[in-house]
């Protein structure tokens, strides 16, 4: 999707623009207060402070202004006409495109205009200054808006008020900024009151505007403003904002203006044009605020697209009981059910619904309160869904009985809901299977593996809230986002408990297992973001009273403190004390149908990396078509075997070593019998021993401490001598760089009896099952080969032992011998290596390590800096370095098949479960990828999407991108 976006608009992929946006990141993420001051001074050059501010600007900036006067930067929509309805969302942003489309379709939309994403990028190119010509285009659009509305911007008698909203090409709910009621000042307030004959309404809007402007534009903490309101309600002994009087608002406004002066050093701006310019620039800056950057990283969205700015006539849901505001979805975003879904509040503005400050009502209740408006809303949103062929997330306002649509966009939804909706829409003939498959991001399938509460478990429910995002989660109670991140980094599972979440909590929400809030509804920030992340969430749990400063919450007389364990069930809205047992979900129904479609399209196989029968069975349940990597060394670490392994390592003679190996062989055979049974009828690739032997011995310092204690306790010489022998062997096996040392095939060449034992166990297990009528296909893989003669040596051992066992057991077993390509030299000489191999499997973990010169155990300490500075787009151990390591994969495949055209080639590193790497493997012509059991569905969908992308590319260019 990202690649498509970049191709569609050349301006999006401009290296210069990308560089400038990224280079401005540091500047844009300074405190809003500082930036706002500078912006305010620069912009007020056009007002009363012109001379003073102009001097300041000359001293502090040397701005190169680009010649953009002729470029169309503003697109108007209103009076049933939309200049931008033929443009795309990459220019107008998703919100701007939706407003243009709705206006063109004669849907009631408050008129306004959109400043393009091009301007945002120019803003960053121009040292955080708006380009030349923009102000003139805005004024022309404002003149049109005044004509269409019959009001005038800044006019004391008949004031036009507007909202200023962000709108990126991809939905980023709550991550960027909005300002409402812009244009209000002491004079226009009088005009608004006179015009509406509603003094309370006027002052309510003014206090909202000052607080929002102070927070968004001037960078003042919104809690400071909220505290003023909380104190006033406490003083008046009232609970709801709707109970505040005109005198209350007047007092609050005075306090708000005093806060602005104290915190920003300037008076609250009275000039509506200055307010507009400052708000516009604040929205541009919000593209690179910390939460927006975090959101893009989490969702793998490009950072160089920029945001549009939408300036739109205000309509009011807070004009009394015939007015309302709400948000909704054309289908249930949590379950995918085809039902009208949403919430609203009467006598409220939009932020009241999503902020969680009031608990809204289900949208179905609107049918009783305003039946005709409800019918109109259902009709409009139904048409929008059919037009866009996707679930719509919409915002609306009802002003004195008249409906206005403020937004429509593709709705964020949980992955279970996304799968159900995609399958249902294919059944409804709205979309085709290909489009359904492309709608789900492969990595999001992980959400389908969320556990649920075990139906057999007994537990007491202590509170119930809204079913905001499904799934069960257990963890320790944590009250701040930063604490959640810290706990996660320490390996702890936590539940983030908040009165209500806000966009600044996104990093903590990502780190937490689940989220619990005491306020907010089904469309609150917590609910929307949790659904997008696939995190269980219970929202609006009003019985919960959160006391963040005391690090505890209460439910009646029950006190739950930070660190206490709780369980939440986002599917039912229940909250329980302690850790309640959970079970894995059944992956059937719509998911089964969806994955069947994926299998119809993909051509590359999907195997699993599994070392136990249980892992193998799990992977097969998820659709694995065999095992691509079974690591035999993991079996050696079992408690009943480690002592025997150590006995083998400590052996002084071949006979002693063989005796230990003879003890290990039955254990290994038993393991392979279990794995072959779980994968009956499918190939199982088993890697011979790979890690250096010292990994099976205790830590040297621990042995030294044990010796000292034995000596201090006066233990007998035999016990001390035994430990000294272990220490001596540890020291003997010590290597400066063990990952490049005595491991893999090098062990088998030095100690062929190890390879012999493992092959004997594998083939004996296969023969035993074969004689019982089971179909078994073992593939024996030699690791770390860099020279064909290494493979020749180990292959001789494998074939000799295998044939001997098969002959003795009088069984029929087909087996293959291949190698891992993980040493760069093996890829470079793959034509030689292939002469001795039935198959190649690229071990891209080690291949990445050796090609890039990074230790995978240590590189994590600095790779994040490489990513932050744009040196790498992704961690090369997570997503394959296609330009470097990828060349070796391509070369190895091509050279290998030049000698053996039937050579089977796969990949078994961590990259086998990464969507981008899987697409690369498909393009390179590999036969299969292998990944961990829980990533098998991800790999299956990624493989299908690779085929569909190729088809789409071919339709565009007439060329296929597959190289083999």
Q: CA–CA distance from 689 to each of 428, 752, 794, 871 (Å)?
A: 53, 11, 12, 36
Among 722, 720, 725, 726, which residue's Cα sits nearest to residue 708? 720
Tokens of 242: 């709707």
949 and 640 in contact (C-beta within 8 Å)? Answer: no
Q: Which of 648, 651, 645, 611 is nearest to 628 (CA)?
A: 611
Structure token digits, residue 690: 């790979």
Closest CA to 42 of 60, 27, 54: 54
392-399 and 494-498: which strand pairing? unpaired
Q: How far apart are CA 352 and CA 360, in angstroms?
A: 9
Quick check: 566 and 463 in contact, CB under 8 A? no
Tokens (6 digits) for 368: 């009783």
950 and 960 in contact (C-beta within 8 Å)? yes
Distance CA 393, CA 395 (A): 7
- Catalytic one of 541, 630, 745, 908: 908
The residues pairing with 907 across neighbouring beta strands, listed in sequence order, are: 842, 929
- State which H helix or E strand residue 89 sits in: helix 89-104
Q: Is the dihedral of CA 716, 720, 721, 726 positive or negative?
A: positive
Given strand 552-555, what is the order of strands in its sheet?
A: 544-547, 552-555, 558-561
The pairing of beta strand 162-168 with beta strand 307-313: antiparallel
From 120, 450, 474, 525, active-site residue: 525
Q: Please, which residues bridge with residue 607 across strands?
A: 930
Which tokens sit at 34? 């500082």
Beta strands in 746-803 (DSSP E): 777-782
Half-sphere exposure of 403 (CA within 13 A, CB side): 24
Q: How many angstroms separate the first and last alpha carbons of the chain?
A: 24
CA distances from 190 to 95, 160, 195, 246, 314 (A): 32, 13, 8, 13, 17
**Using CA atoms in the order 486, 490, 494, 496, what is the torsion angle rounded to 10 degrees?**
10
With beta carbons less than 8 A apart as the criterion, state whether 406 and 354 touch. Answer: no
| Cβ neighbours around 439 below 10 Å, total | 18
Which sign does the torsion angle of CA 687, 689, 695, 697 carry? Answer: positive
Instruction: Count the Cβ atoms, other than its own, within 10 Å of residue 799.
Output: 14
Q: Residue 47, exposed/middle/buried by CB under 10 A (0-12, 13-18, 19+)? A: middle
Annotated active-site residue 507? The verdict is no
Would residue 525 show up in a list of annotated catalytic residues for this protein? yes
Torsion from C-alpha of 467, 472, 473, 477, nearest 10 degrees: 40
For residue 773, give every residue at least 6 positions away whose Cβ sits within 8 Å of its Cβ, in sequence order, or none: none
Query: Is there a contact between 415 and 903 (Cβ–Cβ < 8 Å)?
Result: no
Round to whole Å and give the CA distance between 521 and 76: 34
List all residues 6 or more positions away from 473 whose beta carbon is below 8 Å from its beta carbon. 493, 495, 512, 513, 514, 535, 536, 567, 568, 570
Task: Give residues with Cβ within 8 angstroms of 16, minimum separation 6.
Answer: 125
| Three state DSSP letters for 264-328 | HCCCCCCCHHHHHHHHHHHHHHHCCCHHHHHHHHHCCCCCCCCEEEEEEECCCCCCCCCCEEEEE
Tokens coding 375: 């019918």
How far from the centroid of its chain's Cα atoms is residue 121's Cα? 25
- Active-site annotation, residues: 525, 908
């Amino acid at each position: 999707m990202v690649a498509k976006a970049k191709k569609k608009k050349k301006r999006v992929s401009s290296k210069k623009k990308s560089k400038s946006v990224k280079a401005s990141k540091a500047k844009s993420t300074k405190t809003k207060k500082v930036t706002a001051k500078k912006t305010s001074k620069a912009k007020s050059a056009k007002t009363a402070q012109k001379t003073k501010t102009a001097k300041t600007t000359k001293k502090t900036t040397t701005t190169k202004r680009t010649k953009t006067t002729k470029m169309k930067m503003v697109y108007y929509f209103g009076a049933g006409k939309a200049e931008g309805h033929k443009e795309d969302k990459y220019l107008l942003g998703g919100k701007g495109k939706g407003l243009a489309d709705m206006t063109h379709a004669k849907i009631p939309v408050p008129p306004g205009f959109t400043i393009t994403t091009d301007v945002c990028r120019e803003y960053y190119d121009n040292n955080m200054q708006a380009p030349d010509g923009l102000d003139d285009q805005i004024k022309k659009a404002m003149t049109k808006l005044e004509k269409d509305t019959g009001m005038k911007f800044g006019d004391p008698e008949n004031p036009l008020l507007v909202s200023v909203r962000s709108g990126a090409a991809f939905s980023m709910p709550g991550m960027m900024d909005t300002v409402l009621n812009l244009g209000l000042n002491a004079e226009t307030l009088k005009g608004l009151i006179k015009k509406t004959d509603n003094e309370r309404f006027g002052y309510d809007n003014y206090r909202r505007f000052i607080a929002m402007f102070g927070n968004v534009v001037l960078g003042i903490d919104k809690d400071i403003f909220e505290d003023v309101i909380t104190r006033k309600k406490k003083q008046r002994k009232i609970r709801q904002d709707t109970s505040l009087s005109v005198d209350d608002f007047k007092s609050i406004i005075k306090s708000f203006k005093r806060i602005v002066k104290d915190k920003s050093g300037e008076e609250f701006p009275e000039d509506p044009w200055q307010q507009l310019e400052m708000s516009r620039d604040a929205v541009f800056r919000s593209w690179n605020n910390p939460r927006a950057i975090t959101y893009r990283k989490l969702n793998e969205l490009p950072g160089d697209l920029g945001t549009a700015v939408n300036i739109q006539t205000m309509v009011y849901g807070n004009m009394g009981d015939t007015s309302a505001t709400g948000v909704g979805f054309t289908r249930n975003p949590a379950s995918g059910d085809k039902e009208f879904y949403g919430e609203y509040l009467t006598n409220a503005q939009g932020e009241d619904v999503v902020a969680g400050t009031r608990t809204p009502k289900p949208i179905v209740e609107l049918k009783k309160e305003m039946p005709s408006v409800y019918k109109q809303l259902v009709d409009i949103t139904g048409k929008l869904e059919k037009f866009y062929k996707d679930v719509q997330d919409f915002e609306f306002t009802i002003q004195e009985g008249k409906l206005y649509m403020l937004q429509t966009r593709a709705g964020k939804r949980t992955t279970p809901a996304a799968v159900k909706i995609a399958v249902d829409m294919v059944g409804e003939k709205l979309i085709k299977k290909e489009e359904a498959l492309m709608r789900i991001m492969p990595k999001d399938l992980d959400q389908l593996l969320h556990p649920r509460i075990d139906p057999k478990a007994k537990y007491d429910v202590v509170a119930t809230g809204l079913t905001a995002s499904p799934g069960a989660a257990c963890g320790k109670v944590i009250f701040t986002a930063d604490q959640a991140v810290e706990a996660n980094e320490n390996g702890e599972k936590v539940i983030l408990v908040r009165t209500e979440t806000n966009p600044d909590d996104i990093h903590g929400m990502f780190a937490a297992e689940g989220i619990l809030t005491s306020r907010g509804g089904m469309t609150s920030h917590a609910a929307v973001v949790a659904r997008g992340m696939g995190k269980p969430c219970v929202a609006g749990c009003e019985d919960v009273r959160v006391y963040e400063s005391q690090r505890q919450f209460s439910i009646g007389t029950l006190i739950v403190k930070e660190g206490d364990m709780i369980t939440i069930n986002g599917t039912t809205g229940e909250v329980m004390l302690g850790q309640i047992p959970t079970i894995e979900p059944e992956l059937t129904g719509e998911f089964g149908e969806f994955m069947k479609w994926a299998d119809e399209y993909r051509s590359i196989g999907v195997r699993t990396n599994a070392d136990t029968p249980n892992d193998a069975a799990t992977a097969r349940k998820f659709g694995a078509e065999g095992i691509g990597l079974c690591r035999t060394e993991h079996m050696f670490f079992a408690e009943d075997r480690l002592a025997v392994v150590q006995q083998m390592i400590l052996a002084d003679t071949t006979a002693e070593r063989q005796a230990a190996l003879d003890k290990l062989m039955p254990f290994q055979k038993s393991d392979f019998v279990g794995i072959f049974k779980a994968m009956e009828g499918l190939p199982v690739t088993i890697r011979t021993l790979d890690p250096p032997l010292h990994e099976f011995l205790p830590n040297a310092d621990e042995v030294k401490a044990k010796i000292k204690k034995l000596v201090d306790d006066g233990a007998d010489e035999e016990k001390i001598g035994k430990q000294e022998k272990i220490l001596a062997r540890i020291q003997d096996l010590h290597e400066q760089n063990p990952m490049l040392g005595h491991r893999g095939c090098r062990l088998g060449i030095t100690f062929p009896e190890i390879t012999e034992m493992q092959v004997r166990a594998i083939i004996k297990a296969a023969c035993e099952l074969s004689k019982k009528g089971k179909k078994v296909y073992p593939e024996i893989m030699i690791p770390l080969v860099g020279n064909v003669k290494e493979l020749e040596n180990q292959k001789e051992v494998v074939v000799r032992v295998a044939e001997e066992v098969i002959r003795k057991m009088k069984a029929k077993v087909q087996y293959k011998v291949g190698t891992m390509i993980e040493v760069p030299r093996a890829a470079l000489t793959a034509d030689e290596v292939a002469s001795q191999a039935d198959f190649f499997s690229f071990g891209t973990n080690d291949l990445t390590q050796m090609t890039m010169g990074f230790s995978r155990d240590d590189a994590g300490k600095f790779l994040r800096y490489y990513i932050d500075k744009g040196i790498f787009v992704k961690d090369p151990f997570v997503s394959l370095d296609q330009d470097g390591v990828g060349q070796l994969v391509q070369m190895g495949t091509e050279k290998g098949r030049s000698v053996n055209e039937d050579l089977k080639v796969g990949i078994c590193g961590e990259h086998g479960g990464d969507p981008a790497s899987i697409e690369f493997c498909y393009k390179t012509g590999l036969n299969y990828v292998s990944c961990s059991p829980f990533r098998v569905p991800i790999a299956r969908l990624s493989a299908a999407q690779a085929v569909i992308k190729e088809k789409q590319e071919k339709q565009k260019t007439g060329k296929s991108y597959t190289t083999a």
